[in-house]
Amino acid sequence: MKVTIIGAGYVGLTTGVALAYLGHEVIAVDKDPAKLSLLREGKSPIHELGVESLMSLAVSRLSFTDSIPDGLGQAEVALIAVGTPPKLNGEADIGYVEQAAKELAEKLQEGQTCTVVVKSTVPIGTNRRVALVIERALAARKVKANVYLASNPEFLRESVALPDTLYPDRIVVGADRAESIAVLERLYRPILEQTFAPPKILPRPEGYGLPRLVATDPTSAEMTKYAGNAFLAIKISYINEIAGLCEKVGANVTEVARGVGLDPRIGRRFLEAGLGWGGSCFPKDTSALLAVASEYGYGMPIIKAAREVNQRQRQLVVDKLSSTLKVLRGRVISVLGLAFKANTDDVRESPAIDVIRTLVDRGAHVHAHDPVAIPNAQRELDGLDLEFLDCPYAAAEGSDALLIATEWDEYRTMDLQRVARVMKQPIIVDGRNIIDPESARSAGFTYLGVGK
């Protein structure tokens, strides 16, 4: 099928690359010239597993451009995957989505049939709004086209966005007309039936069954995305709340999570206690849900509490550092990990960034390290007085305490004896519970985890 994707960010780019790999002809539109020139050279602007190799495998079916082509390049499907940044009141801003819809409507031709798919995470009711924007733009041009709307939220995780796209648990499609569902079913058929040859770099997971297609109405599809992300955020905050009480009573949250997670009604995943959640989805989606609820005068105390607990986690690690060191002012603290989670260079809403700001504010000198996120963190922390080091041992050198803020494998496997030798005082606050406390203690560390 011919597909046009508007927005080549995390979602648009990975979806476009996957669809081209599956055999569709994809045109990806993005306004950022720097991003476009990288993409045209076959380079990925994001640190994401498999993007460059799949781009090279699908190069003949994938092109990048800065504006929507006339007639959308004869696309049967146009996916809108632009950003929906939070407004001051927490609500997701659909300005870019509307703009994309308008530009798209300006390029539609008389008699053309196209299914417009909203892939961005958007507030409830956006589909209807997008339909209206397109309808009005077409009417102003006196052009008649058959435009069908569908909502198709994504559930991909950063760092494994491509495997999540190729091997999803489910594909949710919300549309009022059966035709739109049928078009998306055709678009995703290679995934739904797993008929494609898995790329070497992204093999099909062992025991993977076929994904389910959940066909529903647009509003339910939009709500599914928010409800899913909020649930996961609540699950993490829940275990973090339990972790705090574990510390008080002398229980170990890792053991508790194992015991609890073996109940299939609860499940083992997303029960890792630590610094809490960040990233582009959970913070934004929980706040967007609260904003929608408040428009209706409806309280959502569980989601509100999950956000509060998440914020508190960031403060708790600072409290651990200050209660161990007594005075933070004038101390050197190494912070290992800047990305909001491992295997990505994304620092949006990263707990590490927040904690560094607090530490610097409290007068500490921070040595920061991350395997890939330093350039993004430098931009985020521009103007703040701290040092970025290119290896964890260099970051640990001369420090009074070391805080692990991201669960990178590189930190799990550190030579703890070597780290202890270069530090002024061997203290570890393990904000992600990735170091074995016994190994840390036998290397001479004072070890403080979360919920242990």
Q: Which is nearer to ligand UDX, 134 or 236 (CB)?
A: 236
Contact of 388 with 412, CB cutoff 8 Å: no
Q: Round to whole Å and give the CA distance between 215 and 231.
A: 21
Residue whose beta carbon is closest to ligand UDX = 281
The residue (of 180 and 313) whose beta carbon lies closer to ligand UDX is: 313
Pick 341 or 365: Cβ nearer ligand UDX: 341
In whole angstroms, how close is the CB of 311 to ligand UDX at the nearest point? 13
Find where tokens 């170990």 sit: 252
**Only segment of 26-34, 126-134, 270-278, 370-378 that touches ligand UDX (CB under 6 A):** 270-278
Restricting to residues 224-243, which ones interact with ligand UDX according to CB under 6 A? 229, 232, 236
Record the tokens describing residue 79, joined without a space: 């996916």
Number of helical (H) and strand (E) elements in the chain, helices listed first:
18, 14
Please report how close the Cβ of residue 349 comes to ligand UDX at its closest, in angstroms.
8
Q: How far apart are CA 354 and CA 347, in angstroms?
A: 10
Q: What angle do CA 165, 167, 170 make, to 5 degrees?
A: 85
Q: Which span sits near ligand UDX by CB under 6 A: 99-107, 274-282, 327-335, 373-381?
A: 274-282
Q: How far is the CB of 227 from ligand UDX (least distance, A)?
A: 12
Given 114, 246, 281, 391, the catalytic residue: 281
**298 to 337: interface string for ligand UDX, x by CB under 6 A:** ----------------------------------------
For ligand UDX, the closer CB: 6 or 232:
232
Residue 114 is a catalytic residue: no
Residues 6+ apart with CB under 8 A from 260: 266, 271
Q: Which of residues 189-218 bind ligand UDX (CB under 6 A)?
A: none
- Whichever of 65 and 216 has its CB closer to ligand UDX, that residue is 216
- Work out how close the CB of 125 gets to ligand UDX at its nearest, in angstroms, rounded to a whole number: 20
Which of 341, 365, 369, 452 forms a contact with ligand UDX (CB under 6 A)? 341
Report which of 162, 269, 175, 166 is spatially closest to residue 210, judged by C-alpha positions.
166
Q: Cα separation of 379 and 368, whole Å?
A: 14
Q: Is 270 in the site for ligand UDX (CB under 6 A)?
A: yes
Site for ligand UDX in 137-166 (CB under 6 A): 154-158
On whether the CB atoms of residues 104 and 82 are closer than 8 A, the answer is no
Copy the structure tokens of residue 30: 């993005």
Single residue of 12, 83, 163, 278 touching ligand UDX by CB under 6 A:
278
What φ, ψ does residue 92 adopt, rounded to 5°? Answer: -75, 130
Phi, psi for 298 (deg, rounded to 5) = -110, 130
Minimum distance, C-beta of residue 450 to ligand UDX, in the bound complex (Å): 10
- For residue 369, with 0-12 CB atoms within 10 Å meaning exposed, 13-18 middle and 19 or more buried, which class applies? buried
Do residues 25 and 2 make contact, with C-beta atoms less than 8 angstroms apart?
Answer: yes
Positions of E strands within 108-221: 113-118, 146-151, 170-174, 212-216
- For ligand UDX, the closer CB: 127 or 237: 237
Enumerate binding residues for ligand UDX (CB under 6 A): 154-158, 229, 232, 236, 270-272, 274, 276-279, 281-282, 340-341
Q: Tell me the catalytic residues.
A: 281
